Structure 1
Amino acid sequence: MSTSHSGATARVGQSAGPVRVTVNLAPKAAAALDQAVKLTGDTKTDTINRSLQIYAYLEKVIQEGGTLYTRSADSDELERLYFV
């Protein structure tokens, strides 16, 4: 399936260029965005772009039967991540 953008044809899921979207963030999500921007020094746009790429990767791992773990810097113990 393809979509047309200004005469150009692109596959669904792919874009010929930037796509503008409007998002309504819940208060916790807005606070997380602000925190990520402060931690990285990136713009909100760059932070959202990176976040979506990471989210898609994590979902792919889970959908393919993988398991995700994290480890705190001060611990050797792994903790399994669950997404709800």
Structure 2
Amino acid sequence: MADPVPDRSALTKVTVNLVPRAVDALASARARTGDTKTDTINRALVVFDLVLDLTERGGGSLTVRNPDGGTERVHLL
């Protein structure tokens, strides 16, 4: 059964168990942004939701611009 839609005006506390790779990614992202663990995880979930939206529409791609002006296309399956 799906979770009910949360009250958007309230904070929701969750506990997660992260695998070592996720711990490393969280530490790396925090070091680069200076954000808290909570802010970093919140941002990651928003991006993950965007990826899910794209993939549920039959796939898509993201274009990443490199500092040298080049681009890379990331295909979402």
TM-score between the two structures when normalised by the length of structure 1? 0.70
Q: 2:7 aligns with which of 12, 15, 37?
A: 15
Q: Cα RMSD (Å) of the superposition?
A: 2.1
Cα deviation for residue 44 of structure 1 reads: 0.4
Relative contact order (C-alpha < 8 Å, sep 6+): which is higher? Answer: 2
Which blocks of at least 5 consecutive residues in structure 1 are unaligned?
A: 4-11
Structure 1 residues 42-53: aligned runs within 5 Å: 42-53=35-46
Q: Deviating runs (4+, > 4 A) in structure 1?
A: none
Partner residue, 1:73:
67
TM-score between the two structures when normalised by the length of structure 2:
0.75
- Amino acid in structure 1 at the alignment position of 2:27: D
Q: Which structure has the larger Rg over C-alpha atoms?
A: 1
Matches within 5 A, 1:51-62: 51-62=44-55
The alignment covers a number of residue pairs equal to: 73
8 Å CA contact 2:55–2:76 kept in 1: the answer is no
Identity of aligned residues (%): 40
